[in-house]
């Protein structure tokens, strides 16, 4: 019987420090307003990592919470895949730091770099490994501290991002109705110059309007691709869990799928854009508050630097 990768638990971790738009502008002396940020992006506040917080510490805590929700222990994890653009070190990978933090003495871990689409890429790799039998369980984590790679004098970018982590724990289950149905990945290196990090330490540079135009068309296409691959109509989707970059892009995707706003998970107002952490963070919020339930059809999508973009369709 065929194996399916089934999400057993979700977890999230946000830094303790929260800054609203006014506090952020005051702290960095930015020529901006709460109204501009809210109207253009939907963001009202974001969490910011403090001195003791890192991609490893946030990701490890999100992973612990995902395991706790699944009723599993670190001994049961075969593989850790971390999506991050802000690792603690170039190497070792954040995944092996998290492996140590969880007290794991077996299995393997590695990082994936696909900017804001990183979690979708990591989930797709985990799904392939679980279905091929290379691993029986996996932690997939998105964790970011973008506050460390932003240009705090560039009001066009620094107001849009936040720090945080989200994680899911998956197991390979035989003959399950639940689980990942398919993932669809894309990149286009010709667009590398519209959203990138200078060198390895930053700062981040973005041509926001250009990215916006690509986002709406590419996300719409990949969502159609995911539905068509499974012979499903858009009316079958129970929940859209989109990358949380901008409320206007999220609303456009909801309209495209004919989903009422209450079926679209939105956290960008509270967390801003947490890049590879944004999809698992939003998923964790909607599972935690009881909106997303077992058996629901869930569509994940994201776009980010590369450009990279992708979607995953799953039965939760």
Residues that bind ligand ACO (CB under 6 A): 32, 36-37, 40-41, 115-116, 155-156, 159-160, 195, 208-209, 211-212, 215, 245-246, 249, 273, 275, 303-305
Catalytic residue among 97, 184, 243, 271: 243
Is 246 an active-site residue?
A: no
Q: Output the smallest distance, CB 249 to ligand ACO, in A.
A: 6
Is 273 an active-site residue?
A: yes
Q: Judged by CB, which is closer to ligand ACO: 32, or 182? A: 32
Q: Judged by CB, which is closer to ligand ACO: 14, or 115? A: 115
Q: Output the smallest distance, CB 42 to ligand ACO, in A.
A: 9
**Residue 33 near residue 25, CB atoms below 8 Å:** yes
- Integer-rounded Cα Rg, in Å, for the chain is 18
Q: Judged by CB, which is closer to ligand ACO: 211, or 222? A: 211
Catalytic residue among 13, 21, 184, 273: 273
Residues 217/222/223/227 CA torsion (nearest 10 deg): 140
Is 243 an active-site residue?
A: yes
Q: How many whole angstroms separate alpha carbon 149 and alpha carbon 59?
A: 18
Q: Output the smallest distance, CB 18 to ligand ACO, in A.
A: 19
Q: Output the smallest distance, CB 121 to ligand ACO, in A.
A: 12
Catalytic residue among 10, 79, 116, 158: 116
Positions annotated as catalytic residues are: 116, 243, 273
């Amino acid at each position: 019987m065929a194996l399916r990768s089934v999400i057993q638990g979700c977890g999230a971790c946000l830094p303790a420090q929260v800054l609203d738009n006014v506090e952020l502008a005051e702290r960095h002396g930015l020529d901006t307003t709460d109204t501009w940020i809210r109207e253009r992006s939907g963001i009202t506040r974001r969490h910011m990592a403090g001195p003791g917080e890192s991609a490893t510490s946030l990701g490890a805590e999100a992973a612990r919470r995902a395991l706790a929700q699944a009723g599993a222990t670190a001994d049961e994890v075969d593989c850790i895949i971390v999506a991050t653009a802000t690792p603690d070190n170039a190497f070792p990978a954040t995944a092996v730091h998290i492996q140590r933090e969880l007290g794991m003495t077996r299995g393997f871990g590695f990082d994936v770099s696909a900017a804001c689409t990183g979690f979708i890429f990591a989930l797709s790799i985990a799904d392939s490994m679980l279905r091929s039998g290379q691993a029986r369980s996996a932690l997939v984590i998105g964790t970011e501290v973008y506050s460390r790679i932003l240009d705090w004098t560039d009001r066009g970018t620094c107001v849009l991002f936040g720090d945080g982590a989200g994680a899911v724990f998956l197991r390979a289950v035989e003959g399950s109705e639940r689980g990942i149905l398919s993932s669809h990945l894309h990149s286009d290196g010709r667009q590398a110059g519209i959203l990138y990090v200078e060198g390895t330490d930053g700062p981040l540079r973005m041509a926001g309007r250009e990215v916006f135009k690509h986002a709406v068309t590419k996300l719409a296409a990949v969502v159609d691709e995911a539905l068509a691959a499974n012979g499903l109509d858009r009316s079958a989707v129970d929940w859209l869990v989109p990358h949380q970059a901008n409320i206007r892009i999220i609303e456009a995707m909801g309209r495209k799928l004919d989903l009422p706003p209450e079926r679209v998970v939105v956290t960008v107002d509270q967390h801003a854009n947490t890049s590879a952490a944004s999809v698992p963070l939003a998923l964790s919020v909607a599972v935690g508050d009881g909106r997303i339930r077992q058996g629901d059809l869930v569509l994940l999508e994201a776009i980010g630097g590369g450009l990279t973009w992708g979607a995953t369709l799953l039965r939760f």
